[in-house]
Amino acid sequence: MRLKIAAVGRLRRGPEAALVDDYLSRFDKTGRAHGLGPVTLQEVEARKSGKPAEATLLIKATVGIKPVIVLDERGRMLSSPQFAKQLATWRDQGCPEAAFVIGGADGLDRSIRDQADFAISFGAMVWPHMLARVMLAEQLYRAASILAGSPYHRV
């Protein structure tokens, strides 16, 4: 199952970009043997500012992909093993691709949240959207490691 991350904004060179690259590279290596990957990243920037314009671009970036998973503070909080199990379920159901959507600094427009198949929260705290990319990339790698039986995830 291929994965796509559709995110608002450009991640410039720096520690966040290095971490995203590192974790996604690890995910691709670990996940490949378990039917997961590769991951592609599509960054969108709205010429008009605001959540509705961003939502239009994010919806366009995920057309034809099921499931679409939004990262949103109102979403479901999953443990890492639960997240791994959910990825495996989508893979085992024959989903060829899944998309993760990360909004901009102001979050996601209601229109894209309402269209999403699943919503995930990284906790009650609000995280900067650029750090959310790092956290998602790490959790994807962790999920692949859990499914592979790797010692990376310790209980």
> Which pLDDT tens digit goes with each residue over 106-117?
889 999 999 999
Report residue 127's pLDDT band, with 50, 70 and 90 as the boundaries: confident
What distance in Å separates the CA atoms of residue 66 and residue 149, rounded to the nearest whole number? 27
Give CA 116 to chain center in angstroms.
Answer: 13
Of the pLDDT bands very low, low, confident and very high (cuts 50, 70, 90), residue 155 is low
Q: How confident is the model at residue 69 (pLDDT cuts 50, 70, 90)?
A: very high
Query: Token digits for 148?
Result: 């592979």
Q: What percent of the chain is helix, strand and coil (3-state, nearest 5)?
A: 45, 25, 35
Distance CA 8, CA 35 (A): 27
User: What strands, in cross-sheet order, belong to the sheet with 39-44?
Assistant: 39-44, 2-8, 97-102, 68-77, 118-121
Helices (H), 33-128: 51-61, 80-92, 110-115
Residue with the bigger pLDDT between 155 and 49: it is 49
Q: What is the pLDDT of residues 23-61, one digit of tens each?
A: 999 999 999 999 999 999 999 987 777 888 999 999 999
Instruction: Say yes or no: domain 2-148 is CATH 3.40.1280.10.
Output: yes
Q: How far apart are CA 110 and CA 121, in angstroms?
A: 15
Q: Is 85 exposed, middle or buried (0-12, 13-18, 19+ CB in 10 A)?
A: middle
Quote the pLDDT of residue 64.
Answer: 95
